[in-house]
Amino acid sequence: MKKFKLKLISFLMSFSIFLPSNKAIKININFVADKLPIMLSIFIPTSIFGSIVCLHKHFEPEPKLFSLDYLPKNEVVNEVIIIDDLRNYFKIYEKLGDGGFGKVNKAIQNETGAKCCIKKINKKPLYSDEIYKAKYKNEIRIHINLNNQNIVKCYGGFFDKNTESYYIVMELVEGCTLHELIKNGFFSNNERRVIEFFKQLLEAVKHLHDRNIVYRDLKPLNILVDKNHILKVCDFGLSKVISNKYVKNRAGTACYMSPEAINWLEQSCESDMWSLGCILYEMLTNKKLFTKEEPSYNDFRYIEEIRKKKFNRKIEELLIYLLTHDPMAERERSNPRRNCSIDKVIYLCNELFL
């Protein structure tokens, strides 16, 4: 009798699991032998199968983590790591964004295989080397010390001698911007969903304000949302640590800027609260509250627009709290303090939908 020889041309595993009365698991194995499809069924006691599953989980690879340990430590000048060529340490493979202050790309760290995102800080024509370095150091000192799940994690930064540019390395957030969610109608007619996401934004802003940091450019394009619907604030290029309660120079995006910022007055953490009001209105309506390059707030027509929308009463109260200001103070060129606090806004949000 000739021995039967089984020549495997290709092999494919698929599992069909059954739990019969004998407490064994039936597994169907599909494969191709001599160009003929064959299916074998085997039974494995559940106790053994459980061990196999546990063994498989035990050997699952850990996620690859970024590390600054692979950047040169012998070249550090005035707290700045200096590298010879970015390409020796990272593979840059996809552009994520390109704005006035920097370019952001996806990257893979060569030594660890970890995915990350790298921001190249633009050097404007009027910047001296010292101003350029100061802007980099201000951004990274603020960002690297923030630790909150609703803020994009910063790993560190360096100066690349090849491109003569400063770079900041951050966690890669797979998802989209809040701007895209709003544009695609993700929040349409769903006030509860709006507030759930807005609360996450408040947690990020509270983390900043508790450390006397004013963000100064809050807008949907600077807010990322990952695949698990975790909201994360990014881009701290305009942020400032407030040492004397106020900052004076104007910064931000006009349709989200507070009246005091528009009018070149002193700004504080309360200026961020105004931006939060503009973002909340946009999430609720899919429209910007202000669209002009130089919005005029003094006629208070925007309050009428808010009331016309017939929002939940407490949401209307929240919006008006965020978007109230003192035009008299602006005319007198004094600081228009609104006494609007992040803790009060969080309290008002928590009162919703109870």
Catalytically annotated residues:
217
For residue 73, what is the DSSP state? S
Is 120 assigned to a binding site? yes
Kind of pairing, strands 240-241 and 213-214?
Answer: antiparallel
Pinpoint the alpha helices (H) of the chain: 46-58, 129-144, 178-183, 191-209, 259-262, 269-285, 301-308, 313-322, 327-331, 342-350
C-alpha span between 282 and 296 (Å, rounded): 18
In terms of Cα–Cα distance, which of 285, 228, 240 is closest to 266?
240
Element (H, E) at 159: strand 154-160
SS3 75: coil
d(CA 275, CA 283): 12
Give the contacts of 32 (CB within 8 A, at least 6 positions apart).
8, 9, 10, 11, 12, 38
Pairing of strands 102-109, 165-170: unpaired
How far is residue 4's CA from residue 44's CA, in Å, rounded to a whole number?
A: 26
Q: Shortest CA distance to 276 belongs to which of 206, 184, 173?
A: 206
28 touches 37 (CB < 8 A)? no
Q: Are 41 and 27 in contact (CB under 8 A)?
A: yes
Which residues are known binding-site members? 120
Which residues are known binding-site members for ATP? 120
